[in-house]
Structure 1
């Protein structure tokens, strides 16, 4: 298997797994964690919450060990995907009732992707939970890989409207067959 093909497979599987983990943690854990700790440092908020919660349960040593394993796996994932500067951009899209989110750096999935060193489109490199767009601006979701998911009442979600849009069909990742439905919750 070529390095490029292995890299693409690693991106696809890793992001799907990270999204599933984010769903188990409540989806927007990065922002909730920041509020819980009262810190302005959005980057490390999920890790900080693990340390704080572990201390409350007298499990600090276990938490530090698990975080070290996580950090090692995140770095290895980034290495497996490709060399710096040649890694594919990863776009994270979540359809919710009445809105579409492009998850950014302060989201739980955003911190995982950043820890892995996976690049994001410019509009998702903001220090915020997400950028919200309308179905008519779905072209702003472009990346080399697009991972999508839905959350909430399926009848109130505009996924079909967005993905039936001609702008969606013109996205590079869509043309290459690289949008992946990774999370439904």
Structure 2
């Protein structure tokens, strides 16, 4: 994650956490996951989605690359949130699921193949992954100074299919917005190891 992006979240962690809501697509993803399963959340942000997972009986390992956001989420969850960058994921067949809502879009595009492989390795056989990205075809900084790797749906599917042996890979697209409230076309990938 770029220093500009980490700097934005360091300087705006409280405001960012205060404006966060539970992802409306979380529920359909959790329906795929073994009840009470261990879910790694990459980029927990405010911790709202982790809280929803915990309330449904899942065991959650929430992480964030920003120490300040991890602290905000720790307060909400009343439990530790690990500060961890994507390339620091070293787990092997530990998780029943990995959930990365609007977080991998901050990883450098050149690092994504390695990150996809790390996530595949971290999942137990049969485990599920969900990740979302903003639509586009380039790398850029938004008006708030955050780095993004914007991707089209076909690029996301190709990235997953070419960087590990997934049993199933699918995508979904929808209109929404992000923290900046700008209209946004989103794409997600759902994959099973």
Structure showing greater relative contact order (alpha-carbon pairs closer than 8 Å, 6 or more residues apart): 1
TM range (shorter): 0.3 to 0.5
Q: Decide which structure has greater strand share.
A: 2
Give TM-score scaled by structure 1 length: 0.36
The structure with the larger Rg is 1
Q: Decide which structure has greater helix share.
A: 1
Give TM-score scaled by structure 2 length: 0.35
